[in-house]
């Protein structure tokens, strides 16, 4: 494991379009809220900060998906985001993006690991 990687969950903890995992990421000395979800078999992670007003998205702890199970939804004003890209497809920040984090499932021990260094550019 690279020195900056850290385990945030077990792969089995994340079900497709199910509850997500909240975790804290340290960036530039600050603790920031983040989350990971599974969607269509892949794991995706973002800062837990809506591009509209910076609110945390989950309307209950760990509940990020809308009832359609196909979009993430912000609890404050209802913006909806593609789970795999973080792009806002509906709501007051339409066209904006969640800040995507580097996350992967590690073969061998079934861990979900985050790159603690920070974010990856939008679109990756
Ligand atoms: S803060 Fe998320 S839609 Fe307004």
| Domain boundaries of the chain, sorted by first residue | 5-119
Distance 120 CA to ligand 1 centre (A): 22
Q: Which residue, by CA, sits nearest to atom 4 of ligand 1?
A: 77
Distance 93 CA to ligand 1 centre (A): 7
pTM over 0.75, yes/no: yes
49 lines ligand 1 (CB under 6 A): no
77 lines ligand 1 (CB under 6 A): yes
Q: What is the 3-state secondary structure (H, E, C) of the chain?
A: CCCCEEEEEEHHHCCECCCCEEEEEEECCEEEEEEEEEECCEEEEEECCCCCCCCCCCCECCECECCCCCCEECCCCCCEECCCCCEEEECCCCCCECCEEEEEEECCCCEEEEEEEEECCCCC
**CATH code for the structural domain at 5-119:** 2.102.10.10
pLDDT tens, residue by residue, 19-72 = 999 998 888 888 899 999 999 999 999 999 999 999 999 989 999 999 999 999
């Amino acid at each position: 494991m690279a020195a900056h990687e850290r385990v945030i969950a077990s792969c089995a903890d994340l079900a497709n379009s199910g509850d997500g995992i909240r975790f804290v990421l340290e960036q530039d000395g600050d603790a920031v809220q983040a989350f990971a979800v599974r969607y269509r078999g892949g794991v995706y992670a973002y800062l837990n900060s809506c591009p509209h007003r910076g609110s945390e998205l989950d309307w209950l702890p760990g509940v990020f998906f809308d009832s359609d199970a196909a979009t993430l939804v912000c609890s404050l004003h209802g913006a909806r985001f593609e789970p795999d890209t973080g792009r806002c497809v509906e709501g007051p920040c339409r066209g904006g993006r969640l800040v995507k984090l580097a996350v992967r499932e590690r073969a061998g021990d079934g861990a979900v690991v985050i790159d603690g260094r920070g974010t990856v550019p939008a679109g990756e």
